[in-house]
Structure 1
């Protein structure tokens, strides 16, 4: 039970910290186009474009994008550009293995 509560808490933190601006900045840091991020994350090009345009997307879609960037060693904090973590690996190295991945847009 405690691990489920911790998982939910960590997901809420990730949702708060990962913004549409972070998504565009992280893509630029990695040299990825929207199409490349779509291939890497399994999120549709349209959903990525909506998110970066600050339109609504599902929480699971935002988490998938955040976790995909975290798997590349990027970290996100509100009000700051993405940074590279020191020997950091995201908590979900492969977002497509998440149980709720089927809900991704």
Structure 2
């Protein structure tokens, strides 16, 4: 039962933090069209367009968008543009060549 309550809390946090502006900015960062995000998140193009126009969409659609974009390593905070998470694989493609590589282990 605790995990169900925790999932509900995490969903509420994700819904609060992820805004229509974030969606537009995240797509631009990734170079994704509305159609590509639709395929990736399995959310209808119409829903994405309504959300980005700051119209009502279901919480399920918003969560699917937020979670799919987070899976690409993006993080969302109210009032700020999306950022890249610090633990995203591939952010430093040749980390062994970095002078501070030993610190990462």
TM-score (normalizing by structure 2): 0.82
Q: Which residue of 2 aligns with 1:99?
A: none
Alpha-carbon distance, 1:86 to partner: 1.1
Q: How does 1:1-105 map to 2 (within 5 A)?
A: 1-88=1-88
Q: Which residue of 1 aligns with 2:97?
A: none
Cα deviation 1:41-93 (Å, max 9, x = unaligned):
1101110000000000000000000000000000000000000001159xxxx
Q: Matched residue of 2:28: which SS?
A: helix
Runs of 4+ in 1 over 4 A off after TM superposition: none
Structure 2 residues not aligned, in runs of 5+: 90-105
Structure 1 residues not aligned, in runs of 5+: 90-105
Aligned residues: 89
In the alignment, the residues of structure 1 paired with residue 59 and residue 31 of structure 2 have an alpha-carbon distance, to the nearest angstrom, of 25
Q: Matched residue of 1:3: which SS?
A: helix
In the alignment, the residues of structure 1 paired with residue 58 and residue 88 of structure 2 have an alpha-carbon distance, to the nearest angstrom, of 26
TM-score (normalizing by structure 1): 0.82
